[in-house]
């Protein structure tokens, strides 16, 4: 390819990205035996480094570990795939293998089998030769993107350290799953499922679990918007209760009711406007 600025234009180049150093070295050694002409020009410890090194070295091939910290292999591939042959490397991940098979994407399974690696090397050589005659068509690119999309969805990709300190709400989107509450000098993390009820207490909101209580600053009306409505309901201007925590309901005078809890002695008021939630079926 004319764009390759390498001194020996015929020598193919490669990048290896894996967060585990022994595996990077091992793959490089195996490639050295099977494909002596291949020059490994860069090895990266994570997806971000892989993209950076790719920009610098512009290798023909990128071996990307699917599971890496920060930017993972899928995300790195999105940025690289247009300009290089990508081979995914993964440990036993059923869903990943299925996606690769279906999309006819090249992949290696760790520990990498020599015979399998030889196949991949053969295919890569063919493709590189083909590509020097005609660049990769848009159809191939779309297929790769589709596989990456599917994988990204299946992997439930971990967010990269977006900890908004100070906020009691631990994640930014979707239904709330954890609540941060300061108890004394420590910050406690409370899974939302464990909350029995919330009660507003002037400027604060009291979070009550079977094990104890904690105060947070987030007002109850902000919390209720982020909680699963199938599970948490407002029963009073100042009270939100976890439906699973209720043991029974007793009717009171004047169209009100009292909620009794399974794990706590508190009795919670239900005001008239929320009483319809507890009418008998």
Partner 1 sequence: MSTPVLPVSPPEPPHPAWHGFVSYLTPQRVLLALALATVFALALQPIFITPFPVLLGRTMFVGMLALLAFSAAGQWPRRLPRWWARWLFQVVVVAAAVPVATLAVYMVAVGGDFSSFVESESRMLGFLWIAGSGLVVGPLLAMGALYRQRDAEARNQALSFELERSELERQALDARLRLLQAQVEPHFLFNTLANVRALVETGSPQAAPVLRSLIAYLRAAMPRLQGDSTILSDEVALVRAYLELMHLRMPDRLDYVVDLPPELGGLRFPPMALLTLVENAVRHGIDPSEEGGRIDVSGALHEGQVRLWVSDTGVGMTQSMGSGTGLRNLRERLTLFYGAGASLALTENRPHGLCAEVCFTPQ
Binding site residues, partner 1, CB under 8 A:
19-23, 25-26, 29, 45-46, 48, 67, 69-70, 91-93, 109-112, 156, 158-163, 170-171, 174, 177-178, 180, 182-184, 186-194, 199, 201, 204, 206, 211-215, 250, 252, 258, 266-269
- The distance of Cα 153 from the centroid of its chain, to the nearest Å, equals 9
Pairing of strands 85-90, 107-109: parallel
Nearest residue to 264 via CA among 207, 205, 221: 207
Q: Output 10 or 202, the one with its CB closest to partner 1.
A: 202
Q: Output 25 or 130, the one with its CB closest to partner 1.
A: 25
Q: CB of residue 140 vs partner 1: minimum separation in angstroms?
A: 29
Q: CB of residue 206 vs partner 1: minimum separation in angstroms?
A: 6
Q: CB of residue 154 vs partner 1: minimum separation in angstroms?
A: 14
Q: CB of residue 6 vs partner 1: minimum separation in angstroms?
A: 29
Q: Output 112 or 128, the one with its CB closest to partner 1.
A: 112
Q: Output 60 or 93, the one with its CB closest to partner 1.
A: 93
Sorted by sequence, the CB contacts under 8 Å of residue 244 that are 6+ apart come out as: 231
* CB burial of residue 29 (10 Å; 0-12, 13-18, 19+): exposed
Taking the C-alpha atoms of residue 77 and residue 47, their distance in angstroms, rounded to an integer, is: 9
Q: Output 145 or 213, the one with its CB closest to partner 1.
A: 213
Q: CB of residue 117 vs partner 1: minimum separation in angstroms?
A: 13
Q: Output 5 or 156, the one with its CB closest to partner 1.
A: 156
Q: CB of residue 3 vs partner 1: minimum separation in angstroms?
A: 31
Q: Output 115 or 156, the one with its CB closest to partner 1.
A: 156
- Cβ-contact 86, 77 below 8 angstroms: yes
DSSP E strand boundaries for the chain = 13-17, 39-44, 61-65, 85-90, 107-109, 178-183, 186-191, 195-201, 204-209, 213-216, 232-236, 239-242, 246-251, 257-261, 267-270
Copy the structure tokens of residue 155: 């992997």
Taking the C-alpha atoms of residue 118 and residue 3, their distance in angstroms, rounded to an integer, is: 27
Q: How many CB atoms lie within 10 A of CB 106?
A: 18
Length of the chain: 281
Q: CB of residue 208 vs partner 1: minimum separation in angstroms?
A: 9
């Amino acid at each position: 390819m004319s764009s390759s600025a390498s001194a020996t234009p015929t020598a193919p180049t490669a990048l290896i990205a894996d967060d585990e150093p022994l595996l990077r070295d091992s793959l490089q050694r195996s490639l050295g035996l099977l494909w002596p002409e291949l020059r490994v020009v860069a090895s990266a410890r994570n997806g971000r480094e892989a993209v950076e090194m790719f920009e610098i070295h512009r290798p023909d091939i990128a071996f990307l570990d699917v599971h890496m910290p920060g930017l993972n292999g899928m995300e790195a591939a999105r940025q690289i795939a247009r300009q290089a042959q990508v081979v995914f490397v993964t440990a036993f991940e059923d869903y990943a293998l299925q996606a690769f098979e279906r999309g006819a994407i090249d992949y290696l399974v760790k520990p990498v089998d020599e015979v399998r690696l030889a196949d991949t090397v053969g295919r890569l050589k063919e493709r590189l030769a083909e590509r020097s005659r005609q660049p990769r068509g848009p159809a191939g690119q779309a297929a790769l993107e589709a596989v990456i999309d599917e994988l990204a969805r299946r992997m439930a990709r971990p967010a990269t350290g977006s900890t908004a300190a100070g906020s009691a709400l631990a994640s930014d989107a979707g239904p709330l799953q954890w609540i941060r509450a300061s108890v004394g000098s420590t910050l406690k993390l409370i899974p939302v499922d464990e909350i029995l009820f919330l009660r507003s207490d002037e400027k604060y909101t009291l979070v009550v679990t079977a094990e104890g209580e904690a105060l947070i600053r987030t007002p109850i009306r902000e919390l209720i918007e982020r909680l699963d409505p199938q599970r948490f309901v407002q029963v009073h201007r100042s009270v939100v209760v976890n439906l699973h925590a209720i043991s029974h309901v007793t009717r009171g005078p004047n169209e009100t009711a009292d909620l009794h809890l399974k794990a706590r002695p508190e009795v919670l008021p239900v005001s008239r406007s929320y009483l319809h939630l507890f009418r008998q079926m």
